[in-house]
Amino acid sequence: MSGKAVLAYSGGLDTSISIKWIKEKYGMDVVAVLVDCGQPEDLKEIYVKALKIGAIKSVIVDAKDEFIKNYIFPSIKANLKYEKKYPLATALARPLIAKKLVDIARKEGANAVAHGCTAKGNDQVRFDVGIRSLAPELKIIAPQREWIISREEALEYAKKNNIEVSVTKKSPYSIDENLWGRSVECGILEDPWNEPPDDIYKWSKITKKDRENEYIEIGFENGIPVSLNNKNISPAEIIKSLNETAGSYGIGRIDMIENRLVGIKSREIYESPAAEVLIESHMQLESLILDRELVHYKYGLEEKFAELVYYGLWFTPLKDCLCAFMDKSQDFVTGKVRIKFEKKHFKIVGRKSDYSLYDMGLATYDKSDKFDPSHSESFIKLWGYTYEILAKKGRINGK
C-alpha cells in the first residue's frame, strides 16, 4: 500500500514511533498534524520533531477558539461530567481533532488518517467513529492497535530509531492535556489502592495557605461565562485565569475509577480547576433561575449527553438535538456567582440574577412572609389522595 496518511501527532512516545512505523508497514508518507486545543507543550518544537523523525509535512492547527465555542460552551450549558465526576476534557477534544484530521486529509489528498491510540482505551473509539462519521472513505490506521507492544518495547523502538521521548522508564505516565483539563494514567496509578504521588500533579499544585482565602465573581450570559471579577474578558481568558487561581489552591483534582466504553475499569487522575469551578457555578446559577421541572428533566439529559461524549458519539443527530435543548434552556441563565477559594476546595457563597425565580416574600420565615398557609392544606390533600386510597385497600407496605 502507498499513499499519504494524516497522523494526529502529539509529540509523545506513541505518535512519534507511529511516523516511522506507518512508513515501514504501509509505505505511506506521513503528514503530521498538531491540533492545538490549549495543551501547554511547545508546538513549534513538536512541529520540528515530526519532520526530524520523517514526516513529509508538519501542520499546526490552532483549534482553541473552536474548542471553546463548539465543545466547551455546550459542556458548561449541560454541566457535563461523566459518571458525575470527569469533566470530559480529553473526550471533548477528540472529535474536534478528528474533524481537523479529515479537513487536512482532504486538502492534502490523503487516503488515510492515523492516530496513536491503544486498543484498550476510549480515545480510539472517539477518533474512529468521529472520522467515519465525517469521511467514511478514509482508511484508519492505528499503529498501537495493530502492533501490540508494551510501553517498554515502544521505548526501545524509539531508542533504536533515534526518537527522543520525554517519558522515562521510571515515570511512565500517559498524560493528555488541553485547556479544559489534564488526564493522567498508567504507572503506579494502575493500582487503585495506591495514593497518587504528588509529582503527578501540575495544574493543582498548592501554593496558597489556609489563611489566604479569596473571593471571586463569575458573570454568565445565556449560560456562558463572560466576566471575571466584574471585568468582561474572553471565555478563553476566564478559563486560563481560573485554571491558575483555582489550581493554586489545589482545586480541581479528581481521582476516580471509571467505566471505559470498551468494558474495562480504569484508574484515572484528572486536574480540571476551571471546569470544576465553572460547571458548579453554572449549576448553582441555574438553580436560582430555572423552574424545578426543567432542572430535573435537564439532569437526565445531562447524564445522557456526558455519556454520548464519552462514548465518541459527537457527530450524531442525538448530540445536535441535545445541544438544541441545552441552548434553549439557557435563555435566562444570565447572572453572577460568588465563589470562595479555600485550600483544596471552593464554595459557591452567593448567586444573583435579574431572572431569579427566588421570591423572598414566599421563602422567608420572618414577619414579611407573604405565603398563604391555607393553600398548603388543600394542595397536600390532593397530592396525597392516591396513597390514602391505597392505604384503605391495604396496599401500602409500611416497612
So which residues are the catalytic ones?
A: 14, 94, 123, 174
Q: Are strands 57-62 and 231-232 parallel, antiparallel or unpaired?
A: unpaired
Contact call for residues 99 and 77 (beta carbons, < 8 A): no
Q: Between residue 250 and residue 309, which ones bind ligand ARG under the rule CB under 6 A?
A: 258, 268
Tell me the C-alpha distance between 341 and 208, whole Å.
10
Of the ranges 172-180, 297-305, 313-321, 350-358, which one interacts with ligand ARG (CB under 6 A)?
A: 172-180
- Number of residues lying near ligand ARG (CB under 6 A): 11
Collapsed DSSP state (helix, strand, coil) of residue 224: strand
CB of 262 to ligand ARG, least distance (A): 10
307's grid cell: 455519556
Which position among 175, 289, 306, 322 is part of the footprint of ligand ARG (CB under 6 A)? 175
Q: Does 90 bind ligand ARG (CB under 6 A)?
A: yes
For the bound state, the minimum distance from the C-beta of residue 183 to ligand ARG, rounded and expressed in Å, comes to: 4
Closest to 38 (Cα-Cα) out of 79, 92, 86: 92
* Angle CA 347–353–355, to nearest 5: 135
Instruction: Please tell me the distance from the alpha carbon of residue 235 to that of residue 65, in angstroms, as a whole number.
Output: 9
Instruction: Provide the minimum distance between the beta carbon of 173 and ligand ARG in the complex, in angstroms, as a whole number.
Output: 8
Q: Which residues lie closer than 8 Å to 368 by C-beta, 6 or more apart?
A: 360, 361
Residue closer to ligand ARG, measured from CB, 34 or 216: 34
Per CB under 6 A, the segment of 69-77, 101-109, 171-179, 345-353 that binds ligand ARG is: 171-179
**Contact map string, positions 110 to 129, toward ligand ARG, x by CB under 6 A:** ------------xx------
- Nearest distance in Å: CB 190, ligand ARG: 12
Longest dimension (CA), the chain: 83
Between β-strands 265-271 and 335-342, what pairing exists: parallel, antiparallel or unpaired?
A: unpaired
Q: Does 91 contact ligand ARG by CB under 6 A?
A: yes
Q: Which of 176, 271, 286, 302 binds ligand ARG (CB under 6 A)?
A: 176
Residue 129: all three cell numbers together:
467513529
- Residues in contact with ligand ARG by CB under 6 A are 90-91, 122-123, 174-176, 183, 185, 258, 268
